[in-house]
Amino acid sequence: MENENSNLINNPPTSIIPMARVLITPIYETDSIVLAINRFSIERVFLLVSKKTDDKQQEAVKYIKEHYEKIIEVKEKKTELYDIVETAHQVKEIIDDQANTDEIYLNISTGRRTQAMGVLFAGYKRPARIKKIFYVTEDTKDVITIPILSFDVTEAQQKILDNIEDIDKISQMSNEIDVSKAMVYRAIKELKDKGLIEETTNGHKLTEAGKIAKM
């Protein structure tokens, strides 16, 4: 028996894979972040800090670091304050950098609305990687779970997103992505209905959500 125990210590089972609970959150106030760290036993937190920060945000970052940096991993990521697409892209990169076994939590309770939307859309781009998206109410501090949705685009729709701002003629698009004209028409209509592209005087363009879905 002693030999078996010794063997387990020296050669742990390969099926045991390390897992970390990761929080990605804008920061301006700290209440929802503190609540999440404690409630979800967070082990790594990414704070989305505006490139043009102010004293209140800096104080919030300082508070989280002073109270938690000795017990969990705290990282900062600079983002543009009002650029939803850039924020979504940066959050998507953070998600992709985490181990497949990690549980990822997205907080959309604090920061500017544009930053919160960027975080939310990044979650919709990587729904299979997300454990929970949540919002903490200001008054009662209730945690509201947000549905984990996805952009849910088909292969043909993805190809149209990739090319729509460069090729607007249906015949050219059909040749470029190798599908019928009827399918191109249908896919464009579906993308409009989803709010991912919109018509302009010069053809079509991607919406902000469309730019994120294209990533």
Quote the domain boundaries for residue 77: 21-146
- Identify whether residues 41 and 132 lie together within a single domain: yes
- Identify whether residues 136 and 178 lie together within a single domain: no
d(CA 80, CA 157): 29
- Identify whether residues 132 and 47 lie together within a single domain: yes
For residue 45, what are the β-bridge partners?
A: 23, 74
- Identify whether residues 68 and 137 lie together within a single domain: yes
- Identify whether residues 183 and 84 lie together within a single domain: no
Q: What is the pLDDT of residue 202?
A: 84
- Identify whether residues 110 and 51 lie together within a single domain: yes
- Identify whether residues 63 and 100 lie together within a single domain: yes
**Which element (helix H / strand E) includes 75?**
strand 73-79
The closest of 146, 64, 52 to 106, measured between CA atoms, is 146
Are 46 and 75 a contacting pair, CB within 8 Å?
Answer: yes
Q: What is the mean pLDDT of each run of 10 residues along the chain (215 residues)?
A: 53 65 97 98 98 95 97 96 95 98 98 95 97 96 96 93 91 92 93 94 91 94
Can you give the CATH number for the domain in which 173 is found? Answer: 1.10.10.10
Domain assignment present for residue 173? The answer is yes
d(CA 50, CA 79): 5
What type of residue is 165?
E
Q: CB count, 10 Å around CB of 150?
A: 13
Can you give the CATH number for the domain in which 66 is found? Answer: 3.40.50.11700
- Identify whether residues 66 and 166 lie together within a single domain: no
Q: How many structural domains are present in the chain?
A: 2
- Identify whether residues 28 and 79 lie together within a single domain: yes
Q: What is the pLDDT of residue 168?
A: 82
- Identify whether residues 80 and 166 lie together within a single domain: no
192: Cα within 13 Å, side-chain hemisphere? 11
- Identify whether residues 98 and 79 lie together within a single domain: yes
User: Which three-class secondary structure state does DSSP give residue 9?
Assistant: helix
Q: What is the pLDDT of residues 37-91, one digit of tens each?
A: 999 999 999 999 999 999 999 999 999 999 999 999 999 999 999 999 999 999 9
Q: What is the pTM of this model?
A: 0.86
Q: What is the pLDDT of residue 190?
A: 95
Domain edge (last residue) among 125, 146, 167: 146
